Structure 1
Amino acid sequence: MRAPAVPIALTVVLLAAGCGSTSGDGEAEASVGAVTSAPDARLTLVADEDAAASAASTSRALFDSAEVAVVARDGDDAGTLLAASAAVGLGVPLLVEPADGGPADVLTAELDRLGTTTVLAVGDAEAAGGDHEVLAVPAAAESVAAATGLDLAETSEVDDAAAAAAVAGLDGEEPVALLAGDEEAPADDVDRLPGVERAAPLDGTLVLATGSTTTLAGIATARAAGARVHVGGTDPRADADLVGLLGEDQPQAVLALGPEYAAEEGLDWKLETAATGRQLPGGGQLLFPGHFLVALYGHPGSGALGVLGEQDAAASVERARAHAAPYEELVPDATVVPAFEIIATVASEFAGPDGNYSVEVPAEELRPWVEAAGEAGLYVVLDLQPGRTDFVTQAEQYRSLLELPHVGLALDPEWRLGPGQVHLTQIGSVSVDEVNRVVTWLADLTRAGDLPQKLLVLHQFRVGMIPERERLDTSRDELAVMVHADGQGGQGDKQATWQALRQTDPDAVHWGWKNFYDEDAPMLSPEETIAQVSPRPHLISYQ
């Protein structure tokens, strides 16, 4: 059992505003040191848009002091990469000097805070001013090696796109010289920095970086401090590798590095969710666009309600896999995931004891199917046909199943009755306000349980089934909201329905399509489904 994730508090670090001197003959004097410390908060945000400020903020977050520091000039790619190699090899911060003679107050202030006495200025950097000595070297591996005493015989040429990953991969125990194309000519004579005694590595700290050029120096500083660095997007739930890393290592502190993180709403709870290590079938904690679902629809034990019920659970798993398999070549840019859509509450012609014209199957009767699907790597959607009751009331009866990470929810407005209505005398409908109450309920359940994103499917084949759907709440990142076009008949009619439903498309909604074995004329093959249904859906179900 994994340890529970520590509740996340957020600290924001923004800047608005080890070594002695060298001898003239290049011999190093006594060793000097650097002191690291992990951030106090569980989550620290460094979102400066300026490279110099970002570098200084990261240094402040991870280093208490450093008698030696490395400086590169903003915009000097060759100097920055070699400076990163030097900083990580020495175990000291990498700071950035503003380009074109810009104000160096941020740089000078951070050097003073660190107690830096000697600066290694690489490439175009000058690091003038302040109470420190400057050892300037060209952006040449030979010169940096001579100044630092590092063995930089191993080199790696890095382009802009790979720079962040390359810096994140640097290891102080195995120095590598990162090069941006042709090197400058090495200097004839280079003084030697004093030896630097490395600080204790920050093993319990993880740095998440967007990889923008603004973050390169901060990434190097993090690696110099012994923190692990993961380069990726701003939502930690989207990255299966990161979810696995967080779940296994449970870092004590996380630093989010990059201006893009400032726009990531809910970064604290998203990180806490990722830290559970729970993954969706197919990996990660976000459904789309990384996943493509292919589902069998129906009710266990009843072939009359769809193909899911034509066989037992184990055989249904194999049938779902068989349906999904042809799509793997057709959808190469997503992970194809087989799925069940289980009708949990079945519309009835009889009022029943509660008078709601819906038969609610007990959650525990469905659990064997739900668990069998989860063990086999299938996603599950529970479908509600509520009759005269409301969707939230019925959904609450399946809370115990919806608290599983691989289970989502579907609403079937066709079977939502008003007072005095009965099934099959009219097509049902639901107000968008009731749908939005389900959105809130399901999103709150997902957030409270630190669960991966959940799918909320809205079945629809007429616009009037969900009037004013343009008011649909798609603001909750805990959910992937989908409109599922489940009309049947000739393909011309189905395409007309598809286009009509898409005319009221909120920006953030996803799309699903249903193929009927008996009612479509004809039913599309997988190849035809992908070729003819545009834009491509994220869920194909079979009934």
Structure 2
Amino acid sequence: MDLSKKIFLVPQLIFAAYIFSSCSGTDGKTANTTSLADTTKKEQQTIVKESLYKPVDSAKYFRLQKYLANGDTTGKWPVKDDILPINGAILPFNRIIAYYGNLYVKKMGPLGRYEPKEMWRKLDEEVAKWNKADTVIKSIPALHYIATVASGTPGKDGFYINRMPDSQIDSVLKIAKMYNHNAIVFLDVQVALSKLKDELPRLEKYLKMPNVHLGIDPEFSMKSGKKPGSQIGVYDAADINYASNFLVKLVKDNNLPCKILIVHRFTQKMVTNYKDIKLHKEVQLVMHMDGFGPPELKKGTYRHYLYSEPVQFVGFKLFYINDIAQAPNHLMTPEELLKLTPKPIYIQFQ
């Protein structure tokens, strides 16, 4: 099969609906009854190092953006309308290497698949590989936790959604601090039949913390009213702008460092009207290449949906199991991913 036909089959080959119907246990992880978000503003700001509030070096920022463009001559990269971020911007001064998952379900990713000590050992190994492969941009660890999960059953409200209890989010925040990592945390939202305007306020007390950022997943935004997993969902630029504006307000009202917003994507129709997505100095936006499959298929997806529709930064997802399910497929290496245009600045493992 030629590459063009493989790319055409992306939705069929790499659509993955990780859903579950109930939350009945913690899978061995510890949980606190007192929320870590219920602290004073001063206490929250001690969670991350002072360096996260440092002023942005504008010359270095634009130099690194050009580096990430990887020699592109089309004018797409670096993004012309890019905005210099406020103090504490993580990107592009660091590359984020994140473990994804949920503490209740092991198959959703390594964050819930392994006990914390083993998880950190594996994640540290991945960070080390990236730091060896790219000596220009330092790689740092992160945890990406699915805090609002699309479900296979309607639930009491009929929204096909499971909202993780505060105790579980608190557990992730504690795991992020283990072994002197002080890692940043992403809380991911799968709205199902609900809406961002109804789900993001529930996480506001966590998003006010300087080390907590946001991810939103169009795959499970079911504007059609159909059951999650029955088709691929969608976010319009208006939805992404709502999430950005939500974070902007939190940053301004609480004197926070720059936030990051991750938007998952692996098909054309998952994100509509990308040219209408607004950038803000308070929020750095990453269009994240989701989906599993062989390397050539993943590169085709990246080129057609991420490279061709530039927003600001780009991410790339790797699946430990699904990416290598069929021989001779292999898990793409840092060296391979650094050849992409643009170079991804956010790497997620599931």
TM-score of the superposed pair, with normalisation by structure 2: 0.72
In structure 2, the CA distance between the partners of 1:373 and 1:3, relative to structure 1 (3 Å rule), is closer
The one-letter amino acid of 1:238's match is V
- Looking at structure 2, the residues matched to 455 and 266 of structure 1 have their Cα atoms a distance apart, in angstroms, of 14
The one-letter amino acid of 1:433's match is A
1:437-476 superposed matches below 5 A? 437-474=242-279, 476=280
Q: 1:317 aligns with which of 116, 120, 127?
A: 120
Query: Does residue 529 in structure 1 map to residue 337 in structure 2?
Result: yes
- Looking at structure 2, the residues matched to 266 and 505 of structure 1 have their Cα atoms a distance apart, in angstroms, of 17
Report deviation, 1:418: 1.8
- Looking at structure 1, the residues matched to 143 and 233 of structure 2 have their Cα atoms a distance apart, in angstroms, of 24
Moved more, 383-392 or 452-461: 383-392
Query: Does residue 392 in structure 1 map to residue 210 in structure 2?
Result: no
- Looking at structure 2, the residues matched to 437 and 3 of structure 1 have their Cα atoms a distance apart, in angstroms, of 25
**Kindly, what percent of the aligned residue pairs are identical?**
25
Q: 2:55 aligns with which of 225, 234, 237?
A: 237
Cα contact 1:387–1:417 (8 A) shared by 2: yes
Partner of 2:50: none
In structure 2, the CA distance between the partners of 1:392 and 1:330, relative to structure 1 (3 Å rule), is farther
Partner of 1:514: 317
User: Looking at both structures, which has the greater relative contact order when contacts are Cα pairs under 8 Å and sequence separation is at least 6?
Assistant: 2
Report deviation, 1:389: 0.8
Q: Deviations over 1:477-523 (max 9, x none)?
A: 111101000121111111111111121213xx100001111221321
Query: Does residue 339 in structure 1 map to residue 339 in structure 2?
Result: no
Q: 1:368 aligns with which of 171, 186, 198?
A: 171
Report deviation, 1:304: 1.1
Report deviation, 1:3: 11
Q: 1:300 aligns with which of 103, 120, 124?
A: 103
Partner of 1:356: 159
- Looking at structure 2, the residues matched to 300 and 236 of structure 1 have their Cα atoms a distance apart, in angstroms, of 33
> Secondary structure of 2:338's match?
helix
Q: Deviations over 1:160-213 (max 9, x none)?
A: xxxxxxxxxxxxxxxxxxxxxxxxxxxxxxxxxxxxxxxxxxxxxxxxxxxxxx
Q: 2:302 aligns with which of 487, 498, 507?
A: 498
- Looking at structure 1, the residues matched to 271 and 84 of structure 2 have their Cα atoms a distance apart, in angstroms, of 29
After the TM superposition, which parts of structure 1 deviate over 6 Å for at least 4 consecutive aligned residues?
none
Cα contact 1:300–1:312 (8 A) shared by 2: no
Cα contact 1:363–1:397 (8 A) shared by 2: no
In structure 2, the CA distance between the partners of 1:328 and 1:388, relative to structure 1 (3 Å rule), is same
In structure 2, the CA distance between the partners of 1:490 and 1:373, relative to structure 1 (3 Å rule), is same
The one-letter amino acid of 2:195's match is D
- Looking at structure 1, the residues matched to 303 and 198 of structure 2 have their Cα atoms a distance apart, in angstroms, of 32
Query: Which structure 1 segments of 5+ residues have no match?
Result: 5-234, 240-264, 275-284
Partner of 1:539: 346
Report deviation, 1:319: 2.5
- Looking at structure 2, the residues matched to 332 and 366 of structure 1 have their Cα atoms a distance apart, in angstroms, of 33
In structure 2, the CA distance between the partners of 1:317 and 1:403, relative to structure 1 (3 Å rule), is farther
- Looking at structure 2, the residues matched to 526 and 236 of structure 1 have their Cα atoms a distance apart, in angstroms, of 28
> Secondary structure of 2:227's match?
coil
Report deviation, 1:346: 1.2
> Secondary structure of 2:317's match?
strand
Query: Does residue 405 in structure 1 map to residue 210 in structure 2?
Result: yes
Query: Does residue 291 in structure 1 map to residue 128 in structure 2?
Result: no
| Structure with max Cα Rg | 1
Cα contact 2:103–2:168 (8 A) shared by 1: no
> Secondary structure of 2:321's match?
coil
Q: 2:186 aligns with which of 374, 377, 381?
A: 381
Report deviation, 1:236: 5.8
Q: Please provide the CA RMSD for this pair.
A: 2.3
Partner of 1:433: 238
Cα contact 1:454–1:478 (8 A) shared by 2: yes
Partner of 1:421: 226
- Looking at structure 1, the residues matched to 264 and 278 of structure 2 have their Cα atoms a distance apart, in angstroms, of 16
In structure 2, the CA distance between the partners of 1:417 and 1:426, relative to structure 1 (3 Å rule), is same
The one-letter amino acid of 1:421's match is K
Count of residue pairs brought into register by the alignment = 268
Cα contact 2:337–2:344 (8 A) shared by 1: no
